[in-house]
Amino acid sequence: MALFGGEVDEAARQFEDSLAGFRSTGDRWGMALCLAELAMLAGWRGEGRRSMALYDEALESAGQLGAVEDLADLLCRKADGLVRAGDFAAARTAYERAARTAREAGAPALPAAVEWGLGEIARLSGDLTEARRLMEAALAGCATGWFAVEELRARVFVALGRIAEAEDDTARAREWHQRALNVMIGSRNLAGAAGAVEALAGVVLLEGDPEGAALLLGLGAGLRGIPLDQDPDVARTMRRARELLSPDAYEAAYRRGRAMTGEEALAFLGRA
């Protein structure tokens, strides 16, 4: 699939084409799926208002179908976008609604997704103790073998790594991020692996290698197919690396990472 291979423009085109087809046939379930993916891509591009509007339309389609489990998943995804945008109050409301909806649907993975989201709010708010508690609960709630749950597990690993990073435990942080990277590479999800690579950039920066951090930020953007400059963690790492490097040195390292092919990136990460 184009999205997992970091081909963002092609993925958007495919989702737009599929959405048009589903609209023409009145397939609301298909519409909801495509709208959610387009909402995520809009968020990646920094188009926050459009992203939320697309999520709302997806939620309306799922609600009209009475698809309770899909509704809960969409609420979590919308909340994830709100967290990245810094609107923690709205995100918390959406996560709590998702949790109630998930309980009604009996969806086993969604409570873990809610715990991850609430854990991110706690972490970004500076409450590392609560963040760790929620992330450990989310990890315990992840079953194995299902693709979506594997991606959630990787996100939990990254969050635990960022908690360790905030506590200046770079060795533990690197271990968590590497575990996340292994999960995503094993799932052949290069776009998902980008988050772990960008998290590793933060560790490399703490270890005193801003040029290596810039390279990893570029590599992460290349794997995803687009930089995630709106993400607070990525933005912080980028800002600190720029402060420690000349503009030319930062851009050169970033471009080297961004230019790597998927195979080159995997080979490089195997040595990192």
33-81 residue pLDDT tens? 999 999 999 999 999 999 999 999 999 998 888 878 888 889 999 999 9
- Token pair of 13, please? 């085109």
State the Cα–Cα distance between residues 95 and 37, nearest whole angstrom: 18
Q: Coil, helix or strand for 244?
A: helix
Q: How far is CA 53 from CA 35, 40, 48, in A?
A: 9, 11, 9
Q: Which of 14-23, 60-69, 241-250 has the highest mean pLDDT?
A: 241-250
Pair 195, 158: CB distance under 8 Å: yes
- Token pair of 143, please? 């079953």
Kindly tell me the burial class for residue 263, based on how many C-beta atoms sit within 10 Å of its own C-beta (0-12, 13-18, 19 or more).
Answer: exposed
- Token pair of 183, please? 């999960």
List pLDDT tens digits, range 173-199: 999 999 999 999 988 888 889 999 999
For 2-109, where are the alpha helices, taking DSSP H only? 8-25, 28-44, 48-65, 68-85, 88-105
Could you give the percent of the chain with pLDDT greater than 70? 94
Q: What does the longest C-alpha to C-alpha distance in the chain come to?
A: 56
Pair 202, 162: CB distance under 8 Å: yes
Domain-by-domain residue ranges, the chain? 1-107
Helix and strand tally (H, E) in the chain?
A: 14, 0
Pair 122, 134: CB distance under 8 Å: yes
Cα-trace Rg, the chain: 18
pLDDT band, residue 262 (cuts 50/70/90): confident
State the Cα–Cα distance between residues 264 and 257, nearest whole angstrom: 10
- Quote the CATH superfamily of domain 1-107: Tetratricopeptide repeat domain (1.25.40.10)
Q: Residue 145: pLDDT above 60? A: no
